[in-house]
Structure 1
Amino acid sequence: MQRHRSSGHRSAVRLRAAGITLLAAHLLFVAWFTLRPLDVPWVSAANLHPLAGIRSDLALGWREAVLSLGEGLALLAPLGILLPVAGGRLYVSLWGSLVRTVAMAALISLGIELLQTGVPGQVVDVDSLLLNTVGVALAHLLVVPLLRARLRRGAEPGPLPAQEPAQGPTPTIPRVGVAP
């Protein structure tokens, strides 16, 4: 007899479909925001030295540093939640999920930085890759374990439905003897 699916399973499937949709929408927004040509009078040189841009932002003052660093952390942070939700796994190691999510986000961020080399007005910055990746890791650690625990509680199988009454004894076939 087939077990009926619980409402928790249906909500997990709906959540996964919503996650895939939101993931696609967020990636389209990020592509538009980071890869559109900018009309600027001058462009600074590419930053290929890790943490140099962060240090210069901190030297400008705390308000400018918070805005600049917050933007870098927040740009891809939703991926820390949307990638695991779109994957749909409820029973998975926290560290395995974190490593997969952060690796995928780092690759997406690297792809964005590489594509920016051909966009007028956009500059490659290794610090944005670092900040984007840290933002994804923080979002994942803050939200995903709680979300999975809540979904697991809702997806636990309930009792099996009552079986239908038997329709009678199972027919038996008399044993056939060996032919002469």
Structure 2
Amino acid sequence: MKNSLRELISLVGAGCMPDEDIDRIADEAAQAYADPAAFLAANPDINYDDGFPIPLGEWVVVGSLPDTVLFQAETYQQLFEVISGSFDQGVAFNLKPKQLARTEPLTALNRIQVQMAALNKEGGGYVLLNFSQLLDDPLQMVIVARNDLSRVLELAGEVGIVAEPALDALKAAQI
């Protein structure tokens, strides 16, 4: 499981996380999945209890991803602000957060997805993925290169973390 976790974290954190952080998170999450009681005993500072909606290993992954990788927000305008803020200043965005202020969720998410698809040409553009169970905010996503999408979905399934293309999920929810 550790290898799958490492590859998954590496793909969702591409370019935003050092290898040593990826290795540490994958190792800790694998331990937490394998023996939650022992992991909690060895890490009493972890804020987790059995009432949480996700397994401890997933909690470790989600809680360890930096805010430049796991994007959480109340609105699509806020989501785009945190996503665009995570990119280098030299990346030009045609879309501005204020353009999402009074739009319907499907329209807003579609606009964000179009903007993300226009970036990272060598990776086929980016895709927004709903990632894990919602914890604190109604929007919780990662971005992955389109070329890595099928592998990310496969790995997420292997380790039991919910991951789905956000735009597809929102379209399906509105049918």
TM norm structure 2 = 0.24
| Higher RCO, Cα 8 Å, sep 6+ | 1
* Structure of greater Rg: 1
Structure having the higher strand fraction is 2
Structure having the higher helix fraction is 1
